[in-house]
């Protein structure tokens, strides 16, 4: 996953801040950060026994490059909307099929013609999940401290890289020994299987070729929901129950997104549709994972209905189903989820009936200060699954949410209309 941080020139600092100063500060900061976050300097390597990827902490290092452009940041327009030019602001090493040669962290610092900067960073999802990546980048920014007299102005959470508990869960022999969670199933895996069978029943071509073609057809858009719009939606959802019914911003926006996206796609009423969203399991496991755990510690929670049933259900009912799915993620659920992933793996076919949500609102990436203060915007580039919806904090409205999503061309206008108009 790639993120591009934009820092506009600041009147409080020299407009012509030299690139070599910025680069050297980021370089020394990264070197210091990698001493504590040493897995980021390693490489992935296929395990000869089972074909899975192992993480080798071999200190091969990360990659940091510099670039210059005559383009001004203002030329890019609205930084919250995807621009093809953003792809030039990240370093993308060529993959020749050898995982052991691919760096897990890459970065590019680019100086713009206006004196502003972008920092494009790529971090392998095999290394860290969202919270882990956020903590890593915060540590790097703190250690760089280009405009601070001393480094480490903010006390940083010490990372914990031990994967022992999750490795034990994933070990097929260990899971066979423990029968405590044998009756629990991972709904996300079951629903995904049902969606794939539904697609196969329609005789869809689910080859990798079609997957790549579908990916290129998606239009990427960011939709701004202000704090006032979200509160208005909450009042509509609560209806007559008023204060007796409360919900989080995530729950109400996720419910609204699922209903709107399904409606815009025009699916048949008997078609199975599914909402899945990431749940952090750090405090769901028994015992909880240690504070500062840096690895992938998320699973997907899931809700499935027919398109017709989803259309009839109220936002309030969908919010309650989201809450139930979230609360169903327990230690047993995590064990069942990890065990299910131990089975044969294959590329995911294009499933437009699947709505995926990743909540970044508790990870305000734009507040990471690599240079002078907050970034004007922190923009994620095209993910492997383009129709994933990312919920991000709006830099201009702490209570607002920016929803970044890939949509099929035929659904764009309908989605835009219903998604925004229904929250006015």
**Measured distance between the N- and C-terminal CA atoms of the chain, rounded to whole angstroms:** 33
The secondary element (H helix, E strand) that includes residue 130 is helix 130-144
Quick one: tokens of 47? 């395990």
CA angle 149, 150, 156 (to 5 degrees): 140
Instruction: Single out the residue of 97, 57, 52, 59 nearest to residue 294, CA to CA.
Output: 57
Quick one: tokens of 188? 């996300």
One-character DSSP codes across 224-269? EE-HHHHHHHHHHHHGGGGGG----HHHHHHHHHHHHHHHHHT--T
| Bridge pairing between strands 377-380 and 219-225 | unpaired
User: Which positions are catalytic?
Assistant: 125
Cβ 293 vs Cβ 134: under 8 Å: no
Integer CA distances (angstroms), 320 to 255, 293, 374, in order:
9, 30, 36
Distance of alpha carbon 264 from alpha carbon 19, whole angstroms? 46
Question: Tokens 């790097």 — which residue?
Answer: 140
């Amino acid at each position: 996953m790639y993120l591009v941080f934009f820092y506009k020139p600041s009147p409080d600092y020299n407009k012509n801040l030299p690139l070599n100063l910025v680069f050297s500060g980021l370089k020394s900061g990264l070197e210091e950060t990698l001493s504590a976050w040493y897995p980021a300097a390693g490489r992935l390597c296929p395990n000869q026994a089972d074909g899975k990827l192992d993480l080798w902490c071999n200190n091969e290092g990360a990659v940091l490059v510099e670039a210059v452009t005559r383009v001004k940041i203002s030329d890019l327009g609205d930084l919250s909307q995807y621009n093809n030019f953003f792809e030039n602001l990240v370093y993308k090493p060529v993959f020749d099929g050898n995982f052991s040669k691919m760096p897990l962290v890459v970065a590019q610092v680019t100086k713009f013609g206006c004196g502003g900067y972008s920092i494009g960073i790529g971090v392998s999802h095999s290394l860290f999940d969202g919270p882990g990546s956020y903590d890593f980048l915060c540590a790097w920014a703190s250690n760089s401290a280009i405009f601070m007299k001393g480094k480490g102005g903010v006390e940083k959470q010490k990372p914990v890289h031990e994967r022992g508990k999750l490795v034990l869960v994933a070990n097929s022999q260990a899971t066979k020994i423990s029968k405590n969670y044998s009756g629990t199933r991972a709904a996300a895996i079951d629903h995904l299987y049902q969606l794939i069978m539904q697609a196969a029943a329609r005789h869809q071509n689910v080859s990798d070729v079609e997957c790549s073609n579908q990916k290129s057809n998606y239009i990427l858009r960011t939709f701004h929901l202000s704090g006032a719009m979200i509160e208005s939606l909450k009042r509509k959802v609560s209806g007559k129950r008023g204060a007796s019914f409360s919900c989080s911003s995530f729950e109400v926006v996720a419910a609204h997104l699922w209903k709107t996206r399904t409606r815009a796609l025009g699916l048949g009423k008997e078609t199975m549709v599914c909402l899945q969203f990431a749940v952090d399991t750090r405090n769901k496991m028994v015992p909880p994972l240690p504070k500062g755990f840096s690895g992938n510690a998320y699973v997907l929670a899931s809700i499935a209905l027919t398109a017709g049933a989803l259309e009839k259900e109220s936002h309030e009912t969908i919010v309650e189903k989201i809450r139930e799915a979230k609360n169903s993620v327990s230690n047993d659920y995590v064990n069942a989820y990890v065990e299910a992933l131990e089975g044969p793996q294959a590329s995911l076919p294009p499933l437009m009936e699947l709505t995926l949500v990743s909540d970044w609102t508790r990870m305000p990436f734009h507040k990471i200060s690599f240079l002078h203060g907050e970034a004007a915007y922190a923009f994620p580039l095209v993910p492997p699954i383009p129709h994933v919806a990312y919920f991000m904090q709006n830099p201009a409205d702490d209570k607002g949410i920016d929803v970044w999503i890939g949509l099929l061309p035929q659904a764009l206008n309908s989605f835009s209309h219903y998604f925004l108009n229904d929250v006015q």
